Structure 1
Amino acid sequence: MRHSFLFLFAVAATLSGIPGFAQKNVSYYNEPYRPQFHFTAEKNWLNDPNGLVYYKGEYHLFYQHNPYGKGWGNMHWGHAVSNDLLHWKHRPLAIYPLEGTPDHYKCPAFSGSAVVDRNNTSGLQKGNEKTIVAIYTAMHCGQRVVYSNDAGKTWQPYPTPVIPVMKNGTMDERDPKVFWHEPAKKWVMVLYIGPDKDQQERGIAIYNSANLLQWEQKSFIKGMYECPDLFELAVDDNPAEKKWVLHGADGGYFIGSFDGSTFIPETEKIKMDLGNNFYAAQSYSDIPAADGRRIQIGWMNGGIYPDAPFNQQMAFPCVLTLKRFPEGLRVCRNPVTEIKNIYGEKFVITNKMVQPGSNILSAVKGDALDIHAVIEPGTAGSFGFVIRKGSYETSGTPVRYDARNKKLSVLGKTVDLEPVNGKIELRILADRASLEVFANGGKISLSGCFIPVYTFNDLEFFCEGGNVKVESMEIYKLKSAWQK
């Protein structure tokens, strides 16, 4: 996909310059700024998560990837698999540009999605394995299909585009997200369409298909931009009440109704993640009904990782739920419970009054942490956490709650946050160069990248202007998902 802020990525690429790459030894995935529980490519550029699909115990993660350098370009689909969304195994490249050489590609492999064709509607299945079908944008060459009959190990291209390049004056059609709509017994595709001479506003086209190979446009929704996703969620976990969510690359979403062909928004656009670094999120298809979660992974765009062989990282996988609040329905995001698989040493504090100038976390050190806290603001004007203490001036503002003005700030981004029953609940995932903060049950989330002084691993909880009460605080040091 094409982005308007590529200059940030060029800066990131110039800051990285290690020739070659370390083999699997004690230094594997252990560079100073290498995330320890967020997904990164072994080396070179990464952006949008693509083709998120679950099949036979494996979560497949495809992603936009430049195998030839640390800057955006030469788009292929990288590929990795995991059985717990934490411990990833790299697979060979899955999708290549259709034509060209490393110096000049025609039809680079832009973003898309993948599904399991369980009923062989496409007729592509050969053998006993169900066919995994990936639908993606071959830029300037239409929407294309590749498929696998060996559980995603190898991929075969379908010979012709399933949606040719449109003849309406635009080449900007991309990022197909496909799913099976059971009530209508048909496949649905949401596809970004850029503005053209007749259609003055960009938006999302909705298509239907019986077989994944022939598609018909049914409707169009204005005002959305790239990497769309459309899915259904139960309201307050009640299976008798469900709504549909239409989500775009910038994190904006509508809640509404969907009949298989037409989405009708019932809200204004709402922002799903309010941080500095969150883009092009996609949710998994084919999660078993016994699990039932809507699992999402986003790209933490624009992060900078000095002197690293890789560039960019994924956000941590989150479960999406739909909750009712006084102001209406909102999507909540919370980390998947599988993070417990890498829990290490645990620190617990309960019912503790904290005064300004004290640090109740002086014994806690680490560059990968999962922090759970419930705080009563008390008389304090503000309180929060300094992550990687000593890096403060280089990493931006810490996690801070302004109790008087009821605002939460994370790495310089500030949002409104009202207490619930007089308390603020915070969940913080801290990795070597990123913070993801989830507030009040995931109603608010902010994802951000930062550059700490990598040798500083202290943690501080502070309060200013008065005392606060820590009702509960649990902090887990996280083991590396990449080290045996």
Structure 2
Amino acid sequence: MTFIRNLLAAGLAGPLLITAAATPDNQSDAARPAPHEPYRPAYHFTPARAWMNDPNGMVYYQGVYHLFYQYHPHSTVWGPMHWGHATSPDMIHWTHQPIALAPDEHGAIFSGSAVIDWHNTSGFGTPDNPPLVAIFTYHNEADWRSGQRPPQSQALAYSTDQGASWTKYAGNPVLRPAADQGDFRDPKVRWYEASKSWIMSLAVGDHVAFYGSPDLKQWRLLSEFGKDIGAHGGVWECPDLVPMEVAETGEKKWLLLLSINPGGPNGGSATQYFIGDFDGSRFTLDAKFAAQLQQHGPQWLDWGRDNYAGVTWSDVPATDGRVLLLGWMSNWDYGAKLPTATWRSSMTLPRELKLHQQAQGYVLRGQPVRELDALKGRTTEFPAQAATRHAELTPAGATLQLSETYVEFARPDDSSKAYLEFSNAQGELYRVGIDGHTQQFFSDRRRAGQKEFSDQFAQQLHTAPRQSQAPRISMRVYLDRHSAELFADDGATQMTELLFPKAPYTSVHFRVEGQPLQLITFKVTEIGASPTVSAAPQ
């Protein structure tokens, strides 16, 4: 890709403008969406058709990442839930598989998890062929409507052919709630080596309950957490208890992810997290993190509007060692109204999570997995320069519709703002940057494209606190056909937002309002498509 560089004369005051303009005619065939599906993403997972929400049962086995997900195959809105299924060698290139689990006499198949029963504690497999076991919530709609008995219970299914087919356990359900408990769902199960037992984290209305089992079939209550801690006001969902190592000290801590709907920092659904210790039966909040919550309020995995119900892959090999997460890229405020015709919803980029200890406390950082690099193409980089009144650098041929834009710059003073502005020929624009006065990142999609489909979509500026004190700020923004994902300060602040521009963005500007600052790096990298293929009809 060749760039035509035009450096305009510098003035003494005013906004800085750095521009990278794209030429649609130079886009590759892979970058062009089907005419009837202009918003189907090119490198994010989507169902072939119909409705999808939470990721479920994410497990790694024999070189394959399995993704199950909440799926209604008969409509583009939520309905009787199934478990859809897809597989991938790298979390980027996906193959649709047949539906794994369908409703039966016990109810619909709500969220849950999957594990490899390496020791065959369940008896579903053999020592030489350990079973994959799915642990999921049954939801009985008739019981829900009548109120005569609790509608939700926990159940098992197993596979002895590497996830190709599934058998439901004849003794289902294996765990029932108390007689007056309505919300009792989303089991996330892991093996706890010290006690040689399985630990289940379960969402129970306004808190998490932990259960233990020797064989995945018999469960006993161990403890509860969260009734008066963190964000409340909505239903708690999709817990995930994960051991983490603090990057700076090597200390072992436990991460507890917990989604809530509603109650997110910018409205609707979102995912908060807690840092603490786990002794095999009880999760205890870390004292420093408790003080952090007291001072700063709930801590969020992602401060944008469109990352929900994220959970981690189980059984990632110790030789890999990463904590890998995937979320549902939507929001319950408007998820059923998105302007897509044959399919609805997508997943976020898969992310690697790391726990850091900083001056203000623990910070959970997330970055796209390294496997995404295989899709990256040509990079255009602008030279570092002092920011003066305005400067314009105009490249030719950049593809912004599928791209990664990276910018690094000196921290603006408290009278200034700095941001990226993506725009198209329709006059639509999306801005993402930082306000020096509030030290908050912001995402502004109010003029980014379509929003008429919902009165809860793109109505206000979304903000997120800066979690780093470094004198330099970095922002990495991934654009796909209907989304923008910000990873600021090496992922210390994440914001995921859906966008529906009427035409692809064809230019990106770096703007500074207020005092000049130093621009250190500004580059755009093209990203190729990774279309999902089908192994069987959906």
TM-score, reference length from structure 1: 0.86
Residue in structure 1 matched with residue 305 of structure 2 by the alignment: 276
1:89 counterpart (79, 95, 107): 95
SS at match of 1:448: strand
Report the TM-score, using the length of structure 2 for normalisation: 0.78
Greater alpha carbon shift after TM alignment, 86-95 vs 456-465: 456-465
Distance 1:88 1:329, change over 3 A: same
Q: Deviations over 1:327-364 (max 9, x none)?
A: 11111111111110101111112422344554435543
Map 1:25-104 → 2, pairs under 5 A: 31-99=37-105
Q: Counterpart of 1:6? A: none
> Does the Cα contact within 8 Å between 1:359 and 1:462 map onto a contact in 2?
no
Distance 2:224 2:118 in 1: 28
1:152 maps onto 2:163 in alignment: yes
Amino acid across the alignment from 2:211: Y
Q: Which moved more, 1:306-315 or 1:355-364?
A: 355-364
Instruction: Judge which range, 119-128 or 86-95, deviates more.
Output: 119-128
Unaligned runs of 5+ in 2: 1-31, 140-150, 260-269, 445-460, 534-538
The Cα shift of 1:451 comes to 1.2
User: Structure 1 CA distance, aligned partners of 2:248 and 2:60?
Assistant: 22
Matched residue SS, 2:373: helix
Cα distance in 1 for residues equivalent to 2:504 and 2:53: 27
Structure 1 position 260, deviation (Å): 1.0
Indicate how the Cα distance of structure 1 residues 27 and 427 shifts in structure 2: closer, same or farther if over 3 A, else same: closer
> Could you tell me whether the CA contact under 8 Å between 1:406 and 1:418 is conserved in 2?
no
1:253 aligns with 2:273: yes
Task: Please give the alpha-carbon distance, in whole angstroms, between the structure 2 residues aligned to 1:30 and 1:211.
Answer: 49
Distance 1:407 1:274 in 2: 11
- 8 A contact 1:145–1:157 mirrored in 2: yes
Determine helix, strand or coil for the equivalent of 2:165.
coil
Alignment partners' CA distance in 2, 1:98 and 1:28: 36
Query: In structure 1, which of residues 149, 170, 178 is the aligned counterpart of residue 189 of structure 2?
Result: 178
> Which whole-Å CA distance do the structure 1 matches of 2:409 and 2:468 have between them?
9
Shift, 1:391, TM fit: 5.8
CA distance, structure 2, for counterparts of residue 483 and residue 272 of structure 1: 27
Residues 56-65 or 167-176, more deviating: 167-176
How many pairs does the alignment contain?
444
1:368 aligns with 2:402: yes
Report 1:402-441 matches (<5 A). Answer: 402-411=435-444, 412-417=461-466, 420-441=469-490
Q: Contact 1:64–1:78 (CA<8 Å) still a contact in 2?
A: yes
What SS does structure 1 have at the residue aligned with 2:476? strand
Change (3 A) 1:154 1:374: same
The match for 1:318 is 351
Judge which range, 375-384 or 39-48, deviates more: 375-384
Deviation sequence 1:246-304 (CA, Å, 0-9, x none): 11113111111101111011223422211111211100100000100000001112356
Q: Match for residue 263 of structure 1?
A: 283
Residue identity matched to 1:284:
W
**In structure 2, how many angstroms separate the alpha carbons of the residues matched to 1:83 and 1:237?**
31
**Aligned-residue offset at 1:127:** 8.5
CA distance in 1, matches of 2:255, 2:326: 16
Secondary structure in 2 matching 1:183: helix
TM-fit CA distance, 1:415: 2.2
Matching residue of 1:343:
376
Equivalent in 216, 219, 224 of residue 220 of structure 1: 224
Change (3 A) 1:338 1:193: same
Distance 1:361 1:420, change over 3 A: farther
475 and 404 in structure 1: CA distance in 2 versus 1, 3 angstrom threshold: same
- 1:144-202 deviation line (CA, Å, top 9, x unaligned): 111110011111110122534323312321100000111221110001112xxxxxxx2
Alignment of 1:115-194 (within 5 A): 115-125=115-125, 128-139=128-139, 140=151, 142-194=153-205
Q: Which has the higher contact order (CA 8 A, sep 6+)?
A: 2
- Identify if the C-alpha distance between structure 1 residues 446 and 391 changes in structure 2 by more than 3 Å, giving closer, same or farther: farther
SS of residue matched to 2:195: coil
Residue 125 of structure 2 aligns to which amino acid in structure 1?
Q
8 Å Cα contact 1:359/1:461 also seen in 2: no
Instruction: Report if the CA contact (8 A) 1:66-1:73 is conserved.
Output: yes
Q: Distance between the aligned counterparts of 1:361 and 1:120, measured in 2? A: 61
SS in structure 1 of the partner of residue 374 of structure 2: helix
Distance 2:56 2:319 in 1: 24
Shift in alpha-carbon separation, 1:314–1:163, aligned structure 2, 3 A = same
Note closer, same or farther for the CA distance 1:419–1:146 as it changes in structure 2 (3 Å cut): closer
% identity of equivalent residues:
33
Shift in Å, 1:430: 1.2
Corresponding residue of 1:387: 422
Q: Is residue 2:432 matched to residue 1:399? A: yes
**Letter paired with 2:109:** A
> Residue 238 of structure 2 aligns to a residue in which SS?
coil
Letter in 2 for 1:33: Y
For the structure 1 residues 419 and 435, does the alpha-carbon distance in structure 2 shift closer, same or farther, using more than 3 Å as the test?
same
The 1:392/1:418 distance shift into structure 2, 3 A limit, reads: farther
CA contact (8 A) 1:355 1:463 kept: no
Task: Give the structure 1 partner of residue 111 of structure 2.
Answer: 111
2:267 equivalent in structure 1? none
Q: Following the alignment from structure 1 to structure 2, what is the Cα–Cα distance between the partners of residues 389 and 357?
A: 21
**1:210 and 2:214 aligned:** yes
User: Aligned to 1:87, what secondary structure does the other structure show?
Assistant: coil
RMSD: 2.4
The 2-side partners of 1:210 and 1:297 are apart by: 28
